[in-house]
A and B are shown apart, each in its own frame.
Chain A
Amino acid sequence: MMSVIWFMMMIIGIITAVFTQNTHVINDAVIKNTQEAVVFAIGLTGIMAVWLGLMNIAEKSGLIRKIGRIMSPFIRLLYPTIPKNHPAISSIVMNMVANMFGAGNSATALGLKTMEQLQRINNDKSTASNAMCMFLVINMSSIQLIPLSVLKIRADAGSLNPTEIIGTSITATAVSTIVGIIACKLLERKY
């Protein structure tokens, strides 16, 4: 799947550039974007280390288990395959909290930790489990309550009421998250 998408994006881009006689754009794109990717990954290293360090404390102190026990009933509705009290449950909860409040890279760090824990209980290591698909779809439907970057753009552009889009955003997000969950539950039987 990823191979096909990647191939299409690369080839269509290159063909377009050749036809519009913009081939030099490709060269610039190669240099610029690969560099950006490396800078981004290195930038992520610090925040990854912080959250993995904190999660290790929480694991040793038993906090992870506690959150897991409290949240188990709710999380199991969406992720029935995760065993009770599994550490993945508290990672999912913490990632959700970070996502909701727009904690950006902290959410990514906690999300990657969740994926690692879900991979441990995955039977086929090269294929995504139902829980992984559900986790990603909920993540990608955006559960953010305050879109800070949008508010900043609105304020900078001189909006009379920059925050008036929060309500509409949350409503649209809620719809898309619910649709995503339903789509996931229906599609997981077919794939």
Chain B
Amino acid sequence: MLLLEQIVNGLLVGSYYILLSLGLSLIFSLGGVVNLAHGAFYAVGAYLAWEIEKRAGFFGAMGLSPVGVALIGMLVERFALRRLYSKDPMLGLLFTFGLALTAEQALRIVWGSTGLPFAMPDALRGQLILGDFIYSYYRLFMLAVAALGVAGCWLLLNKTAFGMVVRAGTRDPEMVRALGINLRPTLTAVFALGVALAGLAGVLSAPLAGVQPAMGTEILTATFVVVVIGGLGSFWGVVLAGLLVGAVRGVTIYFYPPAAEASMYLLMILLLLLRPRGLMGERFEKFE
């Protein structure tokens, strides 16, 4: 019974991994940029939320903070990252790595290195108890937001003209350009959307894990693991991998807690041995 409870709980825990990884995957698929600053945008989302929450409450912060993160992302893309697309991919990598270091230090300078207390909204306090099972309302809410985020992204990518350009650009950017479509604004928009999802994940995790400068660095590796397990560029693969990582972690904690954090890496190794493309990864011309 407890094992089942752990699995279900793990699925809830996976929800903010999904938001983070989805953003990372989007940016990678279209721009080819391995965004090592993704965790930094997650942290910035949490810090912005901390400032906004004092004035506009938690739900205000949840709405506004990702927008703020998206704006910062657009500036970064427009004035820095864009210059690096046609260059060696290593440059984009080093740039985002440097950006992550700088951002963490900046957060430390502005808000101090001590974690900031971030209270859970009163409306979402409490637990739902179903027989032997217990769920916190907040986590259920988080799952709902993640589900909405996933659904929204799916609709955007699959049911709109914008999405069509993105998908086409992911597969064959030369052909899209040849058709006379300018990919640049699309790239900017996708980068902004990707980091906004990271920012949203930051807001959601703030009441649970607290707000502190290193939070982005800590989550980044896990995010990469989820993307790799899911398969590069695969939308549903990332969603599935996020849930899987959460569930596997719960089961590991049930049987052998010291391996809890290592479980996702083991999962990744096993999966890559069996299926090098990841769960639902396709072959991508431009990456192979």
A and B form one complex = no
Residues of B within 8 A of A (CB): none
